[in-house]
Chains A and B, each alone.
Chain A
Amino acid sequence: ETGVTQSPTHLIKTRGQQVTLRCSSQSGHNTVSWYQQALGQGPQFIFQYYREEENGRGNFPPRFSGLQFPNYSSELNVNALELDDSALYLCASSLGLTDTQYFGPGTRLTVL
């Protein structure tokens, strides 16, 4: 059984660019959640996908968008990157909406 995987590991972009981060959920998990973790802070919820539909969103602007595919893998897209978007982006998958969430290793995004 493979765990949650994320790609890429690291990414450097410049302000104004767009970025796509990818997440493969753990086998059998139909729910994927995305979190942003700024340096020295706890992770902040961005949004959650359940069976390909968005199922809750945190306090993030619309330039943060996502997608979940039929195999339950997911993408996080961020448009018009800002310097404050520099953070560790974490993806978590779970069997159901309130079950244990298992996190991937994260993607570290740097915006210059």
Chain B
Amino acid sequence: GIQVEQSPPDLILQEGANSTLRCNFSDSVNNLQWFHQNPWGQLINLFYIPSGTKQNGRLSATTVATERYSLLYISSSQTTDSGVYFCAVGDQGAQKLVFGQGTRLTINP
């Protein structure tokens, strides 16, 4: 099945810094989503982005489907951005989402 790798596994930054999270996947996908998991376990949708670029406030994402990677950018980080960020992809033949292992982001004041 499709493999999803996220990097880095952990990232510690000061408030106000910018960050880039990466997601590599091993095959063509028809669905790619970025999530933020809060401390209570809720997965919050950030982007549905199987290809192209999207922006939402301080967050933006780019997926280059032909090269099988996606990037999540967070600018001017705030402490509330802390948590685990997951990339999940849906492969062509199956309807499930395959998740990466996540990037744990810690923003210190």
| Residues of chain B with a CB closer than 8 A to A45's CB | 96-98
Chain B interface size, as a band, is 20 to 34
Query: Which of chain B's residues have a CB closer than 8 A to the CB of A88?
Result: 41
Q: Which residues of B contact A108 (CB under 8 A)?
A: 41
Give the total number of A-B pairs whose CB atoms are below 8 A apart.
60
Cβ contact within 8 Å between B42 and A33? no
Residue of B nearest to A31 (CB): B95
Within 8 Å of chain B (Cβ to Cβ): is A66? no
Q: What residues on B are CB-neighbors of A42 within 8 Å?
A: 86, 88, 99-102
Chain A contact residue count (CB 8 A cutoff): 27
Distance of A13 from chain B, by nearest CB (Å): 18
Contacts of A41 in B (CB 8 A): 101
A25 within 8 A of B: no
Scan A55-68; emit 1 where CB is below 8 A from any B CB, else 0: 11010000000000
Q: Is the interface of A mostly helix, strand, loop or mixed?
A: strand
A106 to B43, CA, bound (A): 9
A2 contacts which chain B residues (CB < 8 A)?
none
Known: A42-B101, A98-B90. 5 other contacts (CB 8 A): A33-B95, A43-B97, A45-B98, A92-B43, A100-B48
Seen from chain B, the residues whose Cβ lies within 8 Å of a Cβ on chain A are 30-31, 33, 35, 40-43, 45, 48, 86, 88, 90, 94-102
Query: A residues engaging B (CB < 8 A)?
Result: 31, 33, 35, 37, 41-45, 48, 50, 55-56, 58, 88, 90, 92, 97-103, 105-106, 108
